[in-house]
């Protein structure tokens, strides 16, 4: 049984799950509201329990053998078709995702949703071009082959849900696995739209499924199912630990891309104008970006010069409706998340940290929080050591390179780091010492899909991206043939 489709500001969206090629409703639903206007209910979305989790894993398990048997060429053609359909529907997907999670519509349209299409195309191509490692040893010819692993659960967070989900589902499908995707309950709609395109691309039923609902209910049921052979998760370290425990019980490999508290290191030899402009970008999307460099570490000799420029750049930000092209800072996703961000700043004040600017909620208008800069009283302050996931940065200074590296590496996180310097030697030296999965020097968010991606410390386990992802979603095996074995 399916529910009627919902009109989301002119775009038709199904509020149901997509299991075994069919839309399926649940007896329970949850309300999905727009952060742009919290009184605006976008949809009542199906709320799965362990029953729907079981249905989805059963569908993925039944579809797996035939999907795994397809040639790389055949599987790739499904992924390419899906990519073309995403490109066709970018405007609608961007609009709905903007309403659902308040990311800036222009960047969704220009950049983020299109990345979803590129994910499917790139992984189809990479899988097709796989060149197995071959070598001779001990009188045998060795070849490393990839075997599809089996049903795969993908669990994603509420920020950039379409792009982050496709980033994981694309390599899983290309590798020959079937997929059950559970998007976050705060922004479920764009992944439902993806399923319309999966149907239109005529994927075999059960190959790519979506279940909607809460993490503690359907999420926990999915990751505990022993038929699942891979789990890929993006979200908070707290949930990552729970998923890791479930994966360990069933001895299932899992990857976790978790939170960040990246350093933004500015050396005295840097182009301070560019560094300050880029530092102000950390407030974009309400600071709800895991890769952001939220700890500004500035060489003491240029601290004042940098802060002056940074304040000017920050003042140019426009808080507003994410549909408006002039807006640069969107509201936060949910009242609970706003309360979390407020809590961090309140506790910082009690702790003796100094609010340089910001620290204000624009409650009369909704869920906006002003760009905020805090000078901590100590490097141990909570505001330095914990991810806020909002428009709140900290400012600290250092006197030499060794202290910069020490401060940069001084939290339990290790997702990303940003460094501004004009010296390539320093870039390489510091880059090699920073503990982070991705380090950007004089740039930010430049990504190559073939590069490994993930976090050190509590920012993650495992690496995805390019062949790293295809290896993760496969069981690798070594074929050894005794030399001299005749052909034919």
Q: How far apart are CA 246 and CA 250, in angstroms?
A: 7
Instruction: Pick between residue 45 and residue 85 the one whose CB is nearest to ligand NAD.
Output: 45
Q: Any contact of residue 294 with ligand NAD (CB under 6 A)?
A: no
Options 77-85, 152-160, 196-204, 399-407: segment touching ligand NAD (CB under 6 A)? 152-160
Site residue total, ligand NAD (CB under 6 A): 31
- Nearest distance from residue 480's CB to ligand NAD, in Å? 37
32-40, 219-227, 321-329, 364-372 -> range binding ligand NAD (CB under 6 A): 219-227
Scanning 109-117, 149-157, 349-357, 470-478 for contacts with ligand NAD by CB under 6 A, the matching segment is 149-157
Measure Cα distances from 351 to 341, 342, 348, 380, 410 in Å. Answer: 15, 14, 5, 11, 19
Q: Which of 257, 299, 342, 464 is catalytic?
A: 257
Alpha-carbon torsion, ordered 149, 152, 470, 187, to 10 deg: 180
Residue 361 token pair:
């909620």
- Is residue 216 close enough to count as binding ligand NAD by CB under 6 A? yes
**Residue 428 bears catalytic tag:** no
Residue 456 found at the interface with ligand NAD (CB under 6 A) = no
Question: 356 or 456: whose CB is closer to ligand NAD?
Answer: 456
Q: Please name the residue that has the structure tokens 């062949």.
A: 467
Per CB under 6 A, contacts with ligand NAD among 66-105 are none
Least Cβ distance, residue 47 to ligand NAD (angstroms): 11
247 vs 252: CA distance, rounded Å: 5
Among 124, 127, 169, 258, binds ligand NAD (CB under 6 A): 258
Q: Indicate whether 262 belongs to the interface with ligand NAD (CB under 6 A).
A: no
Does residue 212 sit in helix, strand or coil? coil
User: What is residue 465's DSSP assignment?
Assistant: S
- Would you count residue 427 as binding ligand NAD (CB under 6 A)? no
CA distance 436 to 417: 6
Nearest by Cα to 119 from 154, 151, 95, 147 = 154
Angle between helices 189-200 and 161-174 (to 10 degrees): 40
* Contact indicator for 436, 456 with CB cutoff of 8 Å: yes
The answer to the question of residue 462 lying near ligand NAD (CB under 6 A) is: no
Residues paired with residue 393 on neighbouring β-strands, in sequence order = 373
Of 164-183, binders to ligand NAD (CB under 6 A) are: 164, 182
391 binds ligand NAD (CB under 6 A): no
Nearer to ligand NAD, 159 or 397 (CB): 159
Nearer CB in complex with ligand NAD: 101/319: 101
Nearest approach, Cβ of 64 to ligand NAD (angstroms)?
Answer: 21
Active site (annotated) includes residue 375: no
- Given 16, 92, 257, 299, the residue binding ligand NAD (CB under 6 A): 257
Binding of residue 413 to ligand NAD (CB under 6 A): no
As given in the structure block, the two tokens for residue 475 are 């069981």
Minimum Å gap between C-beta 371 and ligand NAD is 18
Active-site residue identified among 98, 169, 191, 290? 290
Considering only CA atoms, which of 215, 145, 171 is closest in space to residue 75? 171
- For ligand NAD, the closer of residues 96 and 415 by Cβ is 415
Which range in 1-9, 137-145, 257-265, 338-346 contacts ligand NAD by CB under 6 A? 257-265
Q: What is the signed CA dihedral for 209, 187, 115, 154, rounded to 10 degrees?
A: -40
Here the tokens at position 479 are 């074929």
Judged by CB under 6 A, which of 114, 157, 287, 376 binds ligand NAD? 157
DSSP 267-329: -TTS-HHHHHHHHHHTTGGGG--TT-EEEEEEEGGGHHHHHHHHHHHHHT--B--TTSTT--B
Considering only CA atoms, which of 342, 369, 341 is closest in space to residue 283? 369
Q: Does 457 bind ligand NAD (CB under 6 A)?
A: no
Torsion sign (Cα): 329, 331, 333, 335: positive
- Calculate ∠ Cα 169-80-72, nearest 5°: 75
Closer Cβ to ligand NAD, 455 or 466, answer by number: 455
Among 158, 208, 264, 368, contact with ligand NAD (rule: CB under 6 A): 158
Active site residues: 257, 290
- Residues found near ligand NAD in the complex (CB under 6 A): 155-159, 164, 182, 184-185, 214-216, 219-220, 223, 234-236, 239, 242-243, 257-260, 290, 387, 389, 415, 455, 460
């Amino acid at each position: 049984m399916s529910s009627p489709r919902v009109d989301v500001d002119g775009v038709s969206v199904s509020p149901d799950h997509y299991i075994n090629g069919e839309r399926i409703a649940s007896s329970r639903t949850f309300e999905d509201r727009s952060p742009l206007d919290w009184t605006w209910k976008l949809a009542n979305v199906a709320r799965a329990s362990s029953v729907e989790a079981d249905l989805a894993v059963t569908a993925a398990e039944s579809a797996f053998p035939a999907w795994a048997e397809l040639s790389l060429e055949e599987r790739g053609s499904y992924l390419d078709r899906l990519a073309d359909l995403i490109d066709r529907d970018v405007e609608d997907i961007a609009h709905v995702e903007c309403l659902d999670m308040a990311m800036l519509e222009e960047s969704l349209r220009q950049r983020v949703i299109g990345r979803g299409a590129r994910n499917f195309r790139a992984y189809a191509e990479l899988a097709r071009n796989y060149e197995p490692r071959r070598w001779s040893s001990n009188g045998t010819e060795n070849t490393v082959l990839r075997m599809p692993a089996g049903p795969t659960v993908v669990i994603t967070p509420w920020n950039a849900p379409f792009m982050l989900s496709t980033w994981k589902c694309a390599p899983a499908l290309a590798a020959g696995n079937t997929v059950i995707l559970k998007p976050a309950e705060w922004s479920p709609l764009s992944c439902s739209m993806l399923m319309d395109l999966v149907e239109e691309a005529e994927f075999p039923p059960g190959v790519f499924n979506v279940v909607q609902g809460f993490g503690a209910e359907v999420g926990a049921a999915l990751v505990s199912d022993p038929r699942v052979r891979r789990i890929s998760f993006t979200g908070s370290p707290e949930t990552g630990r729970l998923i890791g425990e479930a994966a360990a019980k069933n001895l299932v490999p899992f990857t976790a891309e978790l939170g960040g508290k990246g350093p933004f290191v500015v050396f005295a030899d840097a182009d301070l104008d560019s560094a300050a402009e880029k530092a102000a970008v950390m407030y974009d999307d309400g600071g709800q970006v895991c890769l952001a460099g939220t700890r500004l570490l500035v060489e003491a000799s240029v601290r004042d010069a940098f802060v002056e420029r940074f304040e000017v750049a920050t003042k140019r930000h426009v808080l507003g409706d994410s549909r408006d092209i002039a807006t640069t800072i969107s509201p936060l996703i949910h009242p609970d998340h706003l309360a979390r961000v407020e809590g961090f700043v309140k506790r910082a004040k009690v702790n003796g940290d100094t609010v340089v600017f910001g620290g204000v909620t624009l409650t009369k208008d909704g869920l906006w929080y002003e760009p905020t800069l805090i000078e901590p009283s100590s490097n141990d302050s909570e505001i330095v050591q914990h991810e806020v996931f909002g428009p709140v940065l900290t400012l600290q200074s250092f006197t030499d390179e060794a202290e910069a590296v020490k401060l940069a590496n001084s939290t339990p996180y290790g997702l990303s780091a940003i460094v501004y310097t004009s010296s390539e030697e320093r870039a390489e030296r510091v880059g090699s010492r920073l503990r982070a999965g991705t380090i950007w020097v004089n740039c930010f968010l430049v990504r190559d899909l073939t590069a490994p991606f993930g976090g050190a410390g509590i920012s993650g386990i495992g690496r995805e991206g390019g062949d790293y992802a295809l290896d993760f979603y496969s069981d690798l095996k070594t074929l050894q043939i005794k030399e001299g074995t005749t052909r034919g």
